[in-house]
A = this chain, B = another copy of it.
Amino acid sequence: MRQLPPLAAVRVFEAAARHENFTVAAGELGMTQAAVSYQIRLLEQRLGVPLFRRARRRVTLTEAGRRAGAQLAAAFDSIDAAFAVLRAEDEAVLTVSVTNTFANTWLAWRLGGFHLAHPTTAVRLWTSNALTDFAADEVDVAIRSGPGGWPGLAQHELLPLDFTPMCSPGFLAGQGGRLEPVDLLQLPLISAQDPWWAQWLREAGLDVVEARRTGMRLDSQAHEGHAAIAGQGVAMLTPFFWHNDLVAGRLVRPFAQLSSMGEAYWLVYPEARARVPKIRRFREWLIEALDRDRAAGGG
């Protein structure tokens, strides 16, 4: 029966022994010098043997420490090797399946921040509006809209998918500078067949019998928004995605009413991979970046 010391302390000692320098070891392990000092002392007290000699503002290994350190380095290499085969997959590349809209209006502009925070992990964006088959597509995480509740997937709600009509300032001026909901029935609506229109108009008190089939139909809110900016009509957009364009005056939002179909944007990935480091890092960065944006007043 083995009688191992606490492995956290052992790991710290191995790093400290390699460098013969607590501060450097702390840096390697991503912790503070004080923590290293603490763990080493713990281990020494447990063994009853000094592992380092403290002298003149520096530490040197004792003979006992040197021998143990060398053997531990090999042991940890072995542990590392044991798991290396299991994570044969590329830890350096994270593949994100993401809708066109989210990629264009938000993610592409922020991804630099992730790379700054985690220089060793490259992100590959895979824009697709279809639901992801994680196994087949070699996708690590997906950003999707929907009602949530996918089985076998961990999910994090990113933002509620609400919407309101928007158009270009020029377009609005052409309509006399202001609009009532009822006016929309006469105006060119971008992707008018989208159920969002019916929902919003219904909530505005207008009884819409049938969806209008006329006008342009685009397959992504990103395109719809750009069409609206170009003055082609009124688009039903999610304010969060168009915050910058609203602030910059490229888009205006004639109505306060904000509707929703109960959907949201989600970050999802297989539950079984919830703690894969690259996935965890991306999740934490994404949620924090969104929080920051919300605190700053929108997208």
Contacts and interface: CB of A to CB of B under 8 A. Distances in A.
Contact of A4 (B3, B50, B76): B76
A72 interface: yes
**Number of copies of this kind of chain in the complex:** 2
Contacts of A272: 44-45, 48-50
Given A46-B275, A71-B82, A277-B46, A8 B10 contact: no
Interface residues of A, number: 46
A274 interface: yes
Contacts of A5: 83
B47 A83 contact: yes
B47 A276 contact: yes
B10 A79 contact: yes
B3 A11 contact: no
A55 to B, nearest CB: 17
B48 A276 contact: yes
Interface of A: 1-5, 7-8, 10-11, 28, 42, 44-50, 64, 67-68, 71-72, 74-83, 85-87, 89, 91, 270-277
